[in-house]
Amino acid sequence: MHALITGGAGFIGSHLAEALIAQGHRVTVLDDLSTGRHENVAALDGHPQFQMVVGSILNEALVDKLVERCDVVFHLAAAVGVELIIKKPLESMLTNIRGSEVVLEMAHRYRRKVLIASTSEIYGKNAHGPFKEEDDRVLGSPLKSRWSYSTSKAVDEILAYVYWKEKGVPTVIVRLFNTVGPRQSGAYGMVVPRFVARALAGQPLQVHGDGRQSRCFLHVRDVVSALITLAGHAGAVGRVFNLGSQEEVTIEELAKRVIRITRSASRVEYVPYEQAYEEGFEDMPRRVPDIRKIRDAIGFQPTMTLDEIIQSVVDSMRPPARTPTEVSGPGARAMPVRR
């Protein structure tokens, strides 16, 4: 299989690229490196089955060429993260809506399968749950940038669905709930890498609001494995699937667990939403997926506990332990340090 991964130099995309290459597939990554990084796929550089193209999904001619050459598209490129959406609302809307339209149109032109990454933000501030795929979306005013990410991804879902229904393009929609693991950047508001970085630095962990909002975190390894299985499953076409963990934790408890696992002396600090984001910011009180549909379709089951997930992020962010030859001070011998 030759897979095109849009957003493949990002957090999830880079793990997906590695997993596909390890399974013997060919991979082309298209990424504009806006939030992704070349280092994320550096381990694949020079691999005969791997190609990295720096460019935008908004570049129609480029997307046309790349889609024509592949068998399947994993469409992950998007403006991601609440903070980024609030800072750059127009650019984010254009990337998410126009970009997906370009990808889907080219998939239509060449009759390619597209797996499209949507989000649990789709459910908005619906306070119930666990959410089934058919549940209602509950959103605030469209003028609140908080909801524009959810809306842009809903438009993507509609486009993917109608391209399937009206034009027969084989599309699969996957609603990712919070995904974590090595390489996720905390720079755009992602909570686990932020907490871990602060705990390791001995700085206070900033919990937004009262910290009683709850989330479920799935390791990127489980996400990638499910995405690949769904892409190869004929019964997934034309359908939408939640993909997440059901181990629910409040953000306050998450902060405490990170402190415990890192054995940090950090404390928890509470920051009002208005201060963290913008005036009138609204959050989701609870976000838990119903995963029966994806379990029935492909036997999906999370394989890691939350503590194990946090530990894997800690291991990836902790500076490597210094070897005895690197220790300086009285009695230390001057020896060359090999890195």
Ligand X SMILES: NC(=O)c1ccc[n+]([C@@H]2O[C@H](COP(=O)([O-])OP(=O)(O)OC[C@H]3O[C@@H](n4cnc5c(N)ncnc54)[C@H](O)[C@@H]3O)[C@@H](O)[C@H]2O)c1
CA–CA gap between residue 228 and residue 282 (Å, rounded)? 34
CA–CA gap between residue 41 and residue 15 (Å, rounded)? 8
Q: Which of 149, 163, 270, 277 is catalytic?
A: 149
CB-nearer residue toward ligand X: 40 or 264: 40
With binding defined as CB under 6 A, does residue 176 bind ligand X? yes
Cβ neighbours, 10 Å, residue 281? 19
| Closest separation in Å from C-beta 8 to ligand X | 7
Using CB under 6 A as the binding rule, the residues of this chain from 252 to 281 that contact ligand X are none
Annotation says 149 is catalytic: yes
Strand, coil or helix: what is 208? strand
Contacting residue, 34, 126, 206, 246, with ligand X by CB under 6 A: 34
With binding defined as CB under 6 A, does residue 32 bind ligand X? yes
Contacting residue, 10, 129, 193, 211, with ligand X by CB under 6 A: 10
Cβ neighbours, 10 Å, residue 18? 19
Count of residues interacting with ligand X (CB under 6 A) = 29
| Closest separation in Å from C-beta 241 to ligand X | 13
Residue with tokens 């962990």: 205
Using CB under 6 A as the binding rule, the residues of this chain from 42 to 101 that contact ligand X are 56-58, 76-80, 95, 99
CB-nearer residue toward ligand X: 10 or 129: 10
CA–CA gap between residue 149 and residue 129 (Å, rounded)? 20
CB-nearer residue toward ligand X: 81 or 170: 81
CA–CA gap between residue 215 and residue 191 (Å, rounded)? 10
State the pairing for strand pair 2-6/72-75: parallel
Write the burial class of residue 22 (CB in 10 Å: 0-12 exposed, 13-18 middle, 19+ buried): exposed
With binding defined as CB under 6 A, does residue 189 bind ligand X? no
Q: Applying CB under 6 A, which residues contact ligand X?
A: 6-7, 9-13, 30-36, 56-58, 76-80, 95, 99, 117, 119, 176, 178-179
**Active-site residues: which are they?**
149
